[in-house]
Structure 1
Amino acid sequence: MKLKFFFVAVACIVHGGNAASTYEPIDYKVIQSSNHPNYSVRFVNPSLCDPNVTQYSGYLDMGPNNHYFFWFFESKSNPDARPLTAWLNGGPGCSSMIGLWQENGPCRSHGDGTEIGYNANTWTHFSNMLFIDQPNGVGYSYGDPLQFNVGQGATQFYEALQLFYEAFPKYREVPFHLFGESFAGRYIPHYADYIVKQNQLLQGVVNPRRKEIPIDSVGIGNGWINPLIQFKHAAGMACDSSYGPLVSSDVCEQMKGNYPACAKLIERCYETDEQYACVAADRYCTENIDLLFQTSGLNYYDVRKGSREIDPPEDYVRILNNPEFQQAIGVESLNFEQCAERPYDAMSRSGEGARDSSPALASLLNNGVRVLNYVGDADYLCNWYGNYETMEQLRFNGSSEYNKQSLKPWIYRDREVGQMKGTDRLTFIRVYNAGHEVPYYQPQNALAMFYTWIFKKEF
């Protein structure tokens, strides 16, 4: 793995994998859309990782040039009544197979990528789980054109969801949750808000081609949401966090001293939404704040580790590039990259990394969609200080009630495992001793958090 800086801080780029192999034709089951003549779902029924649950994997084909890969696992208990949760990784350009294989999915890699194992803390204990590679060019998904902004991504994601529901309609009868992490803090607010607005347009329509999506909540882990606030708190994490000072005092002063210029550029981006302004803001802030953290010699995603340490392990990529495995999950011969460059470049060069997703989150809250923001506190890049302040600054119908609350211990199994504050609409959780991928570092705590949230229990 290498760390690549371009505008929006860090993206993980993995190169390699075996060359394309000769395949036997995949025996797809195909469900043709009745709403779009060129839309269909091609899928197989794997029995990998957890052979005791129903699985579907393959492609949501939206015309000749848009092919989103998906892998669905039914809940291990009472799937007809359990919610449906879609999971998105960020990047931009990172595959949701990261979540499936390293975090909350039922799959694990063993033996340096030679054996497929099972994750005992999979979120399928309590929910049907849908992992989607998006936008085009990410993971196993393919097609043109690439999406250059979250508006394009929202439209395409909505089409993909509608196609999934058309093929597997029983899951439309249960609540829908949209979860993800990192740059998905940009995707999720806009994708969910687009769903809400489309639902509103469908109300009262007779025999609509589309049907409402029963969205209940969103969950964002270590998200990139409001750059103006989050770049401000970069120095706090680097210089005065609970893990101690991570950079020298000179670097601290540089970070703090560079923030006013960074803020001015981001404010210009927020005001104009012009590509040039947003690209300039992203470039300056990344180069003059986040790049300075390199002097620490520590890992951007987990400050407890060195910069060269690869954790979580990435040996699952070897499995995902195995031709027999790809055929078993309905994938056409593709070189899998966990974080692909082309979609990363497309999003980054349009300035998406400097734009604000807070207004979309506020819109969700105002329309009754609950919001969970959870953050591993050892992550520098999307650190808990910046996420906490982002939630504090949200303005929605109910923000005054939220702001009256204070952080209190989050107790699980008689241990303090984090801090939280919240109302029935908005909840923030700081997760102790966790890096960027919370379910990897604290799998049992993350599973308990997920259960508590989707079933509206008390933390």
Structure 2
Amino acid sequence: MTLAAPTESIIGTSHRFVSKINIGNSLVFSKPKYCDTQVVQYSGYLNVGTNDNYFFWFFESRTNPSTSPLTVWLNGGPGCSSMVGLFQELGPCRVDSTGTKDSYNPSSWNQVSNVLFFDQPAAVGFSYGSDQVYSTDNAAVVAYKFLQLFYEAFPVYSTLPLHFFGESYGGHYIPSFANYIIEQNKAIAASSSSQSKIIPLKSIGVGNGWTSPLIQHKYSVTMACNSTYGSVLSKSDCTTMTNNYPKCATLTQKCYDTGSNSDCISANNYCTRSVQYIYQNSGKSVYDVRHSDSTDDVPEDYLNFLADSTVMANIGAKSDYVECSDSSYQHISSTGDSSRDFAPDVANLLNSGVRVLIYAGDADYICNWYGNYAWSSQLSFNGSSSYQALSLKPWTVNGKEVGQAQSGSKLSFVRIYGAGHEVPYYQPVASLGMFTTWINGQPFN
């Protein structure tokens, strides 16, 4: 593949690409060789002309990168690094138990797609700067600038179908960011002078996402008290959650109606305290109802790896790694962003012809599959009646039933058995099978 930017860089050698279209923006990048040494990698920073520098790490597809799609991955939080996805979930990298040796992940999604991991807002992961993002919609603008500059620096990827994926608070990020792309694409198409590139967005995917709080808070009760894994709470706690939900619903609906920060903050404070977090009495992990909250069911050995000075130099990291940023979380929380509804953004994407995949591990509590299935089933969009007439059916990978799926009218929902919050960690083969099916446009059984 021939790239516009230099391709002969070696580990530890950085290059700079300055945008001719978005004046003041630049990319500084290296070409590391970790985990998946047979594919082209780029890592480094987007500088958006301010004090903010956003870290990224890109891996080419293991199979026909020139014809494979490009997938952008974001973790949630808000304020958590996409290196979580790279090292614990769908990325090419794994590390040993000491966190000192990188290794190859055979179930990485770059088996079938070019994959780009992006750390945002600016205090997250290896990113650094002023950290002035206070809402999901604010963050969408930076993500769009990043994609435009990435395409300008590496134009060979700019014509590939784009899939925008994320998890958890990605249920806010992904619909918002994708909608911003659609809006900008329309503006570019209508302009005779714009030098920005139309982004070939084909689909979005959200795993165990937080998208529609009004509905999802209701199903916190279901997951804690009446899931297929059994109740993890006492009857009195379950009754309290049930009795508190109506007030939560009233406050959340007010947030939806007024959109004011104060109303959305009030809704978030009450619903988390009086409904969602009663779950803490269970002593179970919010990310997996099968495990104690005192055990780390998803190891974080990669933290040692990313703290190594040699590794940091080779990937061009200029700041210490922060897995989840308290300041970014506080900034976004200060506007009541968590209580805002992003289901309408999903409906708009579907109506614009963008395919949507909602998937969920069925052992996760915090963004459980019941709530995600409920809001997506109630979504109103062109073709929603046809989708709602369908039902969940067994879904198999390699001849084994690994979940359930419902698919129609450009919308698909997939439930993955035996997976917690980070689906690709718990069920790597099923996860890759789902992703491959999706990007190839194939039906789920």
Q: Quick check: 1:404 aligned with 2:394?
A: no
Report SS of the residue matched to 2:288.
coil
TM-score under structure 1 normalisation? 0.93
For the residues of structure 1 that align with 2:149 and 2:15, how far apart are their CA atoms? 15
1:133 aligns with 2:109: no
Q: State whether residues 16 and 28 of structure 2, in contact with CA within 8 Å, keep that contact through their aligned partners in structure 1.
A: yes
Q: In structure 2, which of residues 172, 176, 191 is the aligned counterpart of residue 190 of structure 1?
A: 176
- Identify the residue that residue 201 of structure 1 maps to in structure 2: 187
- Which residue in 2 is equivalent to 1:423? 408
Which amino acid in the other structure matches residue 319 of structure 1?
F
- Residue by residue, what CA displacement relative to the aligned partner does 1:46-76 show, whole Å, maximum 9, x if unpaired? 0111110000000011103221100000001
CA distance in 1, matches of 2:261, 2:194: 36
CA contact (8 A) 1:58 1:70 kept: yes
Report if aligned partners of 1:262, 1:281 keep a CA contact under 8 Å in 2. yes
How far, CA to CA, are the matches of 1:247 and 1:46 in structure 2?
48
Q: Which residue does the alignment assign to 1:453?
A: 438
Other structure's SS at 1:430 match: strand
What's 1:441 paired with? 426
Other-structure match for 1:413 = 398
Q: Is residue 2:87 matched to residue 1:81?
A: no
Instruction: Report how far residue 117 of structure 1 moved.
Output: 1.1
Tell me if structure 2 keeps the 8 A contact 1:221–1:375: yes
Distance in 1 (alpha carbons) for counterparts of 2:262 and 2:194: 40
Of residues 23, 27, 49, the one that matches 1:41 is 27
State the match for 1:272 in structure 2. Answer: 258
Find the partner of 2:376 among 391, 404, 413.
391
CA distance in 1, matches of 2:56, 2:102: 19
Secondary structure, in 3 states, of the residue corresponding to 1:58? strand
d(CA) in 2 for partners of 1:317, 1:225: 29
Q: How does 1:10-159 map to 2 (within 5 A)?
A: 27-159=13-145
- Report the Cα offset of residue 350 of structure 1: 1.1
How far apart are the structure 2 equivalents of 1:26 and 1:412?
40
Choose which of 347, 350, 365 in structure 1 pairs with 2:350. 365
**In structure 1, what is the equivalent of residue 156 of structure 2?**
170
The residue aligned with 2:301 is 315
Residues 372 and 426, structure 1, Cα contact 8 Å, conserved in 2: yes
Q: Distance in 1 between matches of 2:148 and 2:201?
A: 13
Q: Which amino acid aligns with 2:355?
A: R
Which of 192, 210, 215 lines up with 1:224 in the alignment? 210
The CA distance in 1 between the partners of 2:95 and 2:323, in whole Å, is 14
Does residue 286 (structure 1) correspond to residue 272 (structure 2)? The answer is: yes
Q: Which of 321, 329, 333 pairs up with 1:348? A: 333
Deviation readout 1:233-288 (Å, 9 max, x if unpaired): 11111111000111000000000000011111101100011001101100111011
Gaps of 5+ in 1: 1-24
Shift of 1:204: 4.2
Q: CA deviation at 1:205?
A: 2.7
1:432 is aligned, of 417, 421, 442, to 417
Counterpart position of 1:378:
363
Give the counterpart letter for 1:401 in structure 2.
S
Partner Cα distance (1:36, 1:422) in 2: 39
SS in 2 for 1:81: coil
Give yes or no for contact 1:317–1:337 (8 Å, CA) kept in 2: no
Question: How far apart are the structure 2 equivalents of 1:109 and 1:279?
Answer: 39
What is the distance in 1 between the residues matched to 2:360 and 2:209? 8
Unaligned runs of 5+ in 2: 1-10
AA aligned opposite 1:49: C
- d(CA) in 2 for partners of 1:420 and 1:232? 22
> How far is the alpha carbon of 1:211 from its aligned partner?
0.9
The CA deviation at 1:206 is 2.9
C-alpha contact 2:84 2:323 (8 A) present in aligned 1:
yes
CA contact (8 A) 2:12 2:315 kept: no
Matched residue, 1:4 = none
Deviation at 1:26, TM superposition (A): 6.0
1:257 is the counterpart of 2:243: yes
Distance in 2, matches of 1:292 and 1:192, equals 34
- d(CA) in 1 for partners of 2:364, 2:63: 33
Q: Which position in structure 1 is the counterpart of 2:320?
A: 335
Root mean square deviation of aligned Cα: 1.1
Which deviates more, 380-389 or 406-415?
A: 406-415
The alpha-carbon deviation at position 36 of structure 1 amounts to 2.8
- The answer as to whether partners of 2:284 and 2:293 remain within 8 angstroms in 1 is yes
Amino acid across the alignment from 2:416: V
Distance 1:378 1:111 in 2: 25
* Mapped partners of 1:110, 1:119: distance in 2: 12
For the 8 Å contact 1:32–1:41, the answer to whether it is kept is: yes
Q: What's the CA shift for 1:386?
A: 0.3
Report what 1:16 is aligned to: none
Q: Distance in 2 between matches of 1:204 and 1:436?
A: 41
Q: Secondary structure at the match of 1:342?
A: helix
Q: State the alpha-carbon separation in 2 of the partners of residues 204 and 197 from structure 1.
A: 11
What stretches of structure 1 move > 4 A for 4+ residues in a row?
none
Taking every aligned residue pair, what percent have the same amino acid on both sides? 48
Distance in 1 (alpha carbons) for counterparts of 2:22 and 2:346: 31
Q: Report the TM-score when normalising by structure 2.
A: 0.96
Structure 1 contact 40–163 (Cα < 8 Å) conserved: yes
CA contact (8 A) 1:137 1:146 kept: no
SS at 2:17 equivalent: strand
Per-residue deviation, 1:200:
0.7
Count residues in correspondence.
Answer: 434
Distance in 1 (alpha carbons) for counterparts of 2:22 and 2:63: 34
Residues 350-391 of structure 1: CA deviation (Å, up to 9, x unaligned): 101100000100000000000000000000000011000010
Cα distance, 1:142 vs structure 2: 1.2
1:187-228 C-alpha deviation (Å, 9 max, x unpaired):
000100000011011114335220100000000000000000
Say if 1:107 and 1:118, in contact at 8 Å, map to a contact too. yes
- 3-state secondary structure, aligned to 2:291: coil
> Deviation of residue 424 (structure 1)?
4.5
Counterpart of 1:55, as a letter, is Q
